[in-house]
Amino acid sequence: MKSAPPHSYIDDMQDELSPMTTDALEAAASWLAGADLRPTRQRLALAALLMGDGLNRHATAESLFSAARAAGEQVSLATVYNTLRAFSAAGLLTEITVDGSRSYFDTRLDDHPHFYWEDDHELTDAPGDRLQLTGLPDAPEGTEVARVDVVIRLRRR
């Protein structure tokens, strides 16, 4: 595993990413280094927005794009999509698809269920202590179950 870039690298990047705190950028650099991803300016900025404060979140490409633009980042929506896919491929995020056109990227990597609020298009963690899966169908020959996503869809009455 690669170590985080030296502090001077973060100091240099701080000028380019001025709205980001040094702590958030250092956390982002460590997060990227842990997955052997090169810490480009755009990756650092997006990683800092996703997890620089240490909190878990569920982000769409559009919500991260809006947050990046609000932070003064000049980044395209296509770059945000590509970066989120790279983070997922590296094992830093889990992609949760709620329908054919909407995906959320979860910074929390352990197995846990989700609530999807259909009215608000919001994904949140659901408590897993009452969820019980008693069995799964056998995977077709030559395959294995990679993951089971549990999304509990909610709507207001």
Please write the tens of the pLDDT for every residue from 105-120.
Answer: 999 999 899 999 999 8
Measure the CA angle with vertex 64, ends 61 and 41; round to 5°: 105
For the record, the structure tokens of 149 come out as 């996503």
* Mean of pLDDT values over 8-33: 67
Give the pLDDT band (50/70/90) at residue 81: very high
Percentage of the chain exceeding pLDDT 70: 87
pLDDT at 22: 82
Alpha-carbon distance 83 to 156, whole Å?
Answer: 34
CB neighbour list of residue 122: distance below 8 Å, 6 or more residues apart: 58, 116
pTM summary value: 0.81
Sorted by where each begins, the domain ranges of the chain are: 7-154
Decide which of 3.50.50.60, 3.40.50.80, 1.20.1740.10, 1.10.10.10 is the CATH code for 7-154. 1.10.10.10
